[in-house]
Structure 1
């Protein structure tokens, strides 16, 4: 029996149904030579196939679990974010758009009116969102009394809305700041345990606006938000935040060794704003009214709203995290300057160009090919400059978007659709496939888009029999021919007009 068992071999690398079935039958043939039936109706074969089926399922989940441990193969956002955080990279959340709004006094306003910081103004109803967008003033605004000509007061606004259901009085700080009040949302009460976690009720949360207060019933003490608990003391009144793959933002306190634990029974309250995203990038005049009417004050105009960006996509995290980890917080090479810029919220891609031994220009672009605002460019310059070599001046400018037209009214992309495929469906799929070729991370600064890339993308669409691309060119070049699109270090190709003519199919 010992010799028979040792002679049997199972190929453990064969982990699908067919492999398990063959291995089990081969093993059975050695230990049960009298069993020779291989009929699908044989009870022994049925049992072998059931075990093979179960083994195939288990192997699938083992492979999926293993894939989630690596940045290149992970598919769940939570896995990608966790790996990025291990590399010291914090994925960016949504960024609110901002701009200016003009307020004017209405006839009959006889004395100045103060609009406090946080006053809300709204857009008209936006059908795509099924709601109006809310913006808030950044600082107090004094609207003067009505005169002729009618005066205007301009205020800075940011997209988003302050959350909270009650007002909390804060203790005066030790730095001399007077006692104030703040609108907060109650999260619960501390139970005195280590690493307590509380969840914010609304989403998406603008993380930079999150403030946490511990309320003893007589007033609130503000705790400080930190990126992590490293190098902190047991007495530090600190907390961290993170947003999970469902969009819920969580607040985490210390464990008594790194970061203090809120005393048992004290209420935990949060002040924060929600909003952000590219939906806030609106044209001039989009803001039309105050959210809560104030007698004698009207909205008389607004500038374009810009700078809004969506949260960092999973593919962007996958590409950016290793680049930022490689720099280790210092800029030495040309590539380091570009990689460091990715650590700043709102930067999806960056390219650095050395102008001289003492000057580096960094070109940046936001998510969805949105041009970053002046404030975002200043933030990048400040962040990178602090990590640059001594004597090097960092200049940050927006990258240049280069629309690329594929096909035209006279030279369209020709596709033939296979029988039994709907022509309109295949045509739409081809257009989407062409657009994906120009979507990050497939493209970036200095990219080269070849005609073969487009042919490959088109031919991979189900239902396409053949295709002919008659024209592909940058928008600033003659619209003829199919030469490769070559971009400079400060340029990123984006899709322009796509004109397709389809034949065949249903």
Structure 2
């Protein structure tokens, strides 16, 4: 009989123990590592401890094989009793291994019989190791009678257990069932009624109390009209009372302009969103190069198309529409993940140069051979750092060798050719030229402001006539040619400025985030966008920013289109407007970067902490902290050293993805410029790579029955590898999982390995630094590193010095 209750004090055991004749099960132990030490099969020997001595073998009341049963839940692996006998009655005739038929040795018999409690111990051998399910060992009267034996208490005749008791687990105890507290129903009373709806509801509720017989709720009813009129007046009075006090504090302000100004006083830059950017491929007609200027209009498909505009000019050529990749006569080729160079076939007219952008795209499925089945996720933009003509000496084929930024390395393997239906199929993937960067926004030219004329005696706060003003981060088209293609898509909404310019007939006024740094003659303005998207313009007062002259008339040229609506999907852009020689446009990848305006509650939460951000580096910890603000840095450490004539700050950088530091000249220049903004005068800065600690790891893995060892081996390599998995998760030794001074705990390795399907058990046999020998790491359960060291395990045969891992798989299939 299974227990019906969960009790804190189990008095039943003590009462059975005091009973004259009744006996019962005290606990059950599954022998795992202990069984292996004694030469017994692991997880197949159960030791059942009773409260009292058991009858001897041969006695009619003896608890033996026929009276012991193991029950499993549905779909669990079966495990049956081979034999069961009191420990003090064991002998060498019993079979110790059901598979081989080997019998118990004298040492194994002595192991059980030497126990002082051998007379109250029942040893059970099973024919299987079960799985992670919960099993029940039950004592029955006979194989045909499921009742407990008469000498065994019915409450203590069964015990639940797990064959995997010694396997790693995140939990020690079973969850407790707690009785939920009684829910108290409280009346709902709104003491903060401050608007029309709440005033109306409050008065109607009151009328239901004072006039319960009144049932009419028609809108034309006189009482309803009076209630709504009073609610309307109350709403206006309430707003008039609260407006000034409400907008005076960051925590209560409701207008975006008020919240923005309060946050700016705390050095927090509230943003109004950002438009989306996208790489667009232009399809040019045959002939010479077609110049596509900056600001060319692109449109998406549909009845209400979104408008994008090119951010720089490009010379489109028909030869760049589809560029074939050259495999030097080999077949079944691919560009591997992480590739940064390729060979292109020049079929006439290629004019690629450093700074150009190419898009690699799978156009035919490598499995079906159909263009419709091509994987749309296998598209990637790269910025070229080298484009050199080349010739295949074998057959004279004209080629172009191209190389691109490390930051633009292929994130996936790109299949170039395959064998389909016994035929070699090439050009599964192509390179696209004529690539231009575009961002969302429709230009509105020379639009009068509302009102257009500056008054003589009042503040001038005009509005733009169209809602949805575009905000975009500044973009330098020439400087972008020296940076990776991925960087051109990245935008910081807090650095975004309104895409607008004003003209008063004498000069052009430029937008700014605020006028606190503007001089008295600076023709600058601020655009403040409210919740509904309407933009109000604010000018200077002659001290902070130039004041507009009375009577002058302004026109505005600005762009409309902002936020996440611009994050259109791949192939959404289809049309080029006003450019001859270009037949179409498409965006192989989706647009990114479109950001909604910052929520007011988020500003209230984060703005009070903004002034705590230090904008200078004084101590070593300061230098490390400001270095970590760079998006390409995962962690940094810094130390001071006197180098002869001045103090030098040595900054050790752990890059995202484990990329090199000093060997990447572009990143080195970039990180130096980043730190230079914060460093103290008289301090030199030296950038260094981390000290990597390669690991030497060996695991013995027991594969669960029914699982194939090579499959489990492959999954273990992925789980404990350094790469990112297809689902976006990372392998255990991914470079971004470890940083300076971070130890590696043995329990974490066990947990990662045991999470692999098909792994029954794991034992770490070697856990140490590579080529350094063991220093008690397995016994301590941890491998520690110094303050500036980072563990590394690439398991790359071509780079054995970066760490290795070995697996010894047994059992399974």
Give the TM-score taking structure 1 as reference length.
0.48
Query: Greater relative contact order: 1 or 2 (C-alpha under 8 angstroms, separation 6 or more)?
Result: 1
Q: Highest Rg: 1 or 2?
A: 2
Give the TM-score taking structure 2 as reference length.
0.32
